[in-house]
Amino acid sequence: MSASVVTSFGGPEQVVTARVPLPVPAAGQVRVRVRTAGLNPVDGLVRAGVFGGGGERLGFGWDVAGEIDAVGAGVTGWSTGQRVVGLHYGAVKGLGTHAEYVVLDAGAVAAAPESVDATAAAVLPLSGLTAARALGQLGLAAGDSVLITGAAGVIGGLAVQLAVRAGLAVTALAAPADEELVRSLGATGFVARGTSGADAGVRVDGVLDAAVLGEAALDFVRDGGVYGGLRPGGAPAPVRGIRVVEQEVAADGAHLAELVSLVDAGALTLRVAGTYALEDAAEAHARLAEGGARGRLVLTVA
């Protein structure tokens, strides 16, 4: 089968399409026939060698939408032909979801949304689970205030929608050109990117730092509030009694199913910035490297 891989670290030109063996599901696993797969910033970091890794190749891809093609021993509740979405956790792996087939633990998949196509569905697993876990770790209650940095991005935008649904008063931090977008997602407050907390005159109960601003994001948090980071090990040191927490995403099919239900209820909007065929993955990586996409780039598998 075909898969998008890297054999030498570097820029988008290092991404190649390779022929690899068809994976076989072990006990407790399912094999998914990939229809679409999201291209995330973490894939660019893998390509550049940020996480290292050895062997002949490294595969890309965390998100997948497709159909179950085979089930391993002991798997219950899933059968061939079922449409699913799933998360393939891990930055360093020989084969990811950017392939014709991928094997996942049965507990890492959920039934696919009925209300959107496979292209949009591929946006949900990594970004949705990341946003939901990060927001949950803040421990805020309905009526509390939260500022979400990078609110126009995929994770930030999903976090805005989830926070509004949780009854939080949401202020979005984004580029001025994105104010209309983030307000359409439910944010009632807005801070232009590059504005300090002092200049904005904003103090909130918590910050979800999707833009990874670090110390600069702490300036928006009241004394004794909470800061939530998305990258383990990358959060700033706590000050003024601020509690600092960091999320690390996990392959959680049950939680993913809850997010799918929100998509089907019209409570979550999934944004796609563009699609590329699997064999054109290098072009997709080049677009990812340019930055500024207001949605997820998605690979499609014929």
Locate 27 and state its tokens: 């006990």
Res 285: pLDDT = 98
Res 198: pLDDT = 87
On the question of pLDDT at 53 being above 90, the answer is no
Beta strands in 54-156 (DSSP E): 58-59, 63-71, 83-87, 101-105, 109-111, 145-149
On the question of pLDDT at 56 being above 90, the answer is no
Res 302: pLDDT = 87
Residue 54's pLDDT band (cuts 50, 70, 90): low
What are the tens digits of pLDDT across the range 86-125?
Answer: 999 998 999 999 999 999 999 999 999 999 999 999 999 9
What are the tens digits of pLDDT across the range 201-259?
Answer: 999 999 999 999 999 999 999 999 999 999 888 889 999 999 999 989 999 999 999 99
On the question of pLDDT at 272 being above 90, the answer is yes
Question: Look-up: residue for tokens 């996409």?
Answer: 293
3-state secondary structure 167-210: CCEEEEEECHHHHHHHHHCCCCEEEECCCCHHHHCCCEEEEEEC
Res 234: pLDDT = 80
- In order of their start, the domains of the chain are 2-123+270-300 (3.90.180.10), 131-246 (3.40.50.720)
What are the tens digits of pLDDT across the range 129-172?
Answer: 999 999 999 999 999 999 999 999 999 999 999 999 999 999 99
Mean pLDDT of 175-199: 95
Q: State percent of the chain over pLDDT 90.
A: 91
> What does pTM read for this prediction?
0.95
